[in-house]
């Protein structure tokens, strides 16, 4: 791909996990505004359809691909279908994630397993499914980690463990696929104004009003950072992008 081609998002096919909400939805809409074609992955069809409507209003024509990122057959099927129906895959944005918070002493094994399966095994399966398609012409794999992927916090130990693991997965993968022209990057955001972690956006906004010191990123801020990563100059690679509320 030439530098201009790499930076022009028009016509690019981008598979987005977690596309039914928050960051994934904002990325889908932002990409549609730039003429890219988002393929929307998530477990529940209804929120994906809501995202598809927003993408349509932004001028895009999305593909809906309901799939659980912890299910290898479903993930492989989703990426293969995106490539088959849209003709190519140029990038994978791995935003699907869950936040089940609580102290280790009383943390349920099922919650630990769900956290690791979604936040760590999910990106592994998605990257594995994306690579054969991206190898054909180069492209990008971008994962959404968290500040908790670089620093442990009380109540967030399982979540932190999954996101620390994700950072290592992406660092290792980056070196494996660089010669195929695939840029692997990780976004490391602080708190974002989404329903993530079990609190509604309204509650978060009300909380932010009570605590003027608490700042949040908007999902659109993270989406813009991801678009920056998709349009890096040909000879430049951003491995990690730390993004804090301001």
| Whole-number CA gyration radius for the chain | 17
Q: Which is nearer to ligand NAP, 6 or 186 (CB)?
A: 186
Helix (H) or strand (E) holding 73: helix 72-86
> Is residue 194 packed enough to be buried (19+ CB in 10 Å), middle (13-18) or exposed (0-12)?
buried
Binds ligand NAP by CB under 6 A, chosen from 146, 160, 185, 186: 146
Using CB under 6 A, which of 87, 195, 207, 233 touches ligand NAP? 195
Residue closer to ligand NAP, measured from CB, 98 or 208: 98
Distances (CA, A) of 106 to 112, 115, 197: 11, 15, 18
Q: Does 165 bind ligand NAP (CB under 6 A)?
A: no
The reply to whether 113 sits near ligand NAP by the rule CB under 6 A is: no
Least separation in angstroms between residue 197's CB and ligand NAP is: 6
Q: By CB under 6 A, what part of segment 48-87 binds ligand NAP? A: 68-70
- Cβ(15)–Cβ(91) below 8 Å: yes
- Spatial distance between the Cα atoms of 208 and 43, rounded to a whole number of angstroms: 30
Applying CB under 6 A, does 194 fall inside the site for ligand NAP? Answer: yes
Ramachandran area for residue 112 (φ above 0: left; ψ -120 to 50: alpha; else beta)? alpha
* Nearest to ligand NAP of 6, 161 (CB atom): 161
- Identify which of 222, 223, 219 has the alpha carbon closest to the alpha carbon of residue 193: 219
Size of the site for ligand NAP (CB under 6 A): 29
Strand order in the sheet with 91-94: 63-66, 37-42, 13-17, 91-94, 139-144, 182-189, 240-243
Residue from 13, 23, 225, 227 binding ligand NAP (CB under 6 A): 23
Which of 131, 191, 227, 229: binder of ligand NAP (CB under 6 A)?
A: 191
Q: What single DSSP character describes residue 118?
A: I
Residues 2-21 that bind ligand NAP (CB under 6 A): 17-18, 20-21
Which one, 62 or 219, has the nearer CB to ligand NAP?
Answer: 219
Report the interface residues with ligand NAP, using CB under 6 A: 17-18, 20-24, 42-44, 47, 68-70, 95-98, 118, 122, 144, 146, 189, 191-192, 194-196, 219
Give me the active site residues, please.
159
């Amino acid at each position: 791909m030439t530098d201009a081609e790499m930076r022009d998002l028009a016509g690019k096919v981008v598979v987005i996990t977690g596309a039914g909400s928050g960051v994934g939805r904002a990325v889908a809409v932002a990409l549609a505004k730039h003429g890219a074609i988002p393929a929307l992955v998530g477990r529940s069809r209804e929120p994906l359809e809501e995202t598809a409507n927003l993408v349509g209003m932004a001028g895009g024509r999305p593909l809906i691909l309901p799939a659980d990122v912890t299910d290898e057959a479903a993930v492989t099927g989703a990426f293969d279908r995106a490539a088959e129906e849209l003709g190519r895959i140029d990038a994978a944005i791995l935003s699907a994630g869950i936040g089940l918070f609580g102290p280790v002493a009383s943390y349920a094994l099922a919650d630990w397993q769900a956290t690791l399966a979604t936040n760590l095994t999910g990106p592994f399966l998605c990257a594995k499914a994306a690579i054969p398609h991206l190898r054909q012409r180069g492209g990008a794999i971008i994962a959404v980690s968290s500040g908790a992927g670089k620093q442990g916090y009380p109540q967030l130990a399982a979540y932190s463990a999954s996101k620390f693991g994700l950072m290592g997965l992406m660092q290792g993968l980056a070196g494996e696929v660089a010669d195929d022209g695939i840029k692997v990057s990780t976004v490391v955001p602080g708190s974002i104004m989404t329903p993530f972690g079990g609190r509604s956006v309204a509650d978060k906004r009300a909380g932010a009003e009570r605590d003027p010191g608490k700042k949040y990123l908007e999902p659109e801020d993270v989406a813009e950072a991801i678009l920056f990563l998709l349009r890096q100059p040909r000879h430049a690679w951003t491995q990690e992008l730390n993004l804090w509320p301001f």
